[in-house]
Chains A and B, each alone.
Chain A
Amino acid sequence: DAKTTQPTSMDCAEGRAANLPCNHSTISGNEYVYWYRQIHSQGPQYIIHGLKNNETNEMASLIITEDRKSSTLILPHATLRDTAVYYCIVRVSGTGGFKTIFGAGTRLFVKA
């Protein structure tokens, strides 16, 4: 079973920030938080990951709470092309491979 819980769907106005929450209350100390997104019928696309510090890249920002039990993915200026299913995943680094347990994700609708 996935170790994360996410809202089923969210709406966001184009140009506004999209804030996608994720709960991972049972996260272990050596598990990272990863975010992927999947546009209809394509392979999942890596967005960002972090351990305990907030992270930012050209696509998004990741805010992880101090207790690491939840996180928020922020798309600062959402566009129509950001409409997708967003998956929050926790996994251990250096495990000898990439075994990822996906939940159902959050379906983000960006509206004009």
Chain B
Amino acid sequence: ETGVTQSPTHLIKTRGQQVTLRCSSQSGHNTVSWYQQALGQGPQFIFQYYREEENGRGNFPPRFSGLQFPNYSSELNVNALELDDSALYLCASSLVGGMNTEAFFGQGTRLTVV
């Protein structure tokens, strides 16, 4: 079991609403990445945060945004929810500055948009 925790575990939202997902990184880690995983597919990289700034982004629209806090925890915000946003959202934490450091994933938040 990793030290990465995500909340909530499940969430149901209506199309057009906004949602905030939360991630607490493993102790000693300073980078958080977020992924979207649709059913039957591999996780797709959304963005990552290091030192409270976004320093890498995948092919996701601006309505996907995030924050990283001084304690390295993070939020993923999605505005104007669409039905296709229904997915498992994963966060992963890692340590910058080390060589080939592995990332540890949380158990994910299952978002359903109706």
Contact = CB atoms under 8 A, between A and B. Distances in A.
Given A42-B108, A43-B2, A43-B90, A99 B56 contact: yes
Nearest to A46: B102
Contacts, number: 78
A48 B96 CA distance: 19
A55 to B, nearest CB: 11
Nearest to B94: A98
A30 to B, nearest CB: 10
**A-side interface mostly:** loop
Interface size grouping (class) on chain B: 20 to 34
Interface in A56-112: 85, 87, 93-94, 96-105
A44 B43 contact: yes
A35 to B, nearest CB: 10
Contacts of B94: 97-98
A103 B44 CA distance: 9
Contacts of A99: 33, 45, 48, 56
Contacts of B103: 46, 98, 100
29 contacts: A2-B42, A32-B100, A43-B2, A43-B90, A43-B92, A43-B108, A45-B105, A46-B102, A46-B104, A49-B100, A87-B42, A94-B97, A94-B99, A96-B50, A96-B96, A97-B31, A97-B33, A97-B55, A98-B48, A98-B103, A99-B33, A99-B45, A99-B48, A100-B33, A100-B35, A100-B92, A101-B45, A102-B44, A105-B42
Interface of B: 2, 4, 31, 33, 35, 41-45, 48-50, 55-56, 88, 90, 92, 94, 96-108, 110
Which 9 residue pairs are nearest across A and B when measured between Cβ atoms?
A43-B105, A102-B42, A93-B100, A98-B94, A98-B103, A97-B48, A46-B102, A97-B31, A99-B56
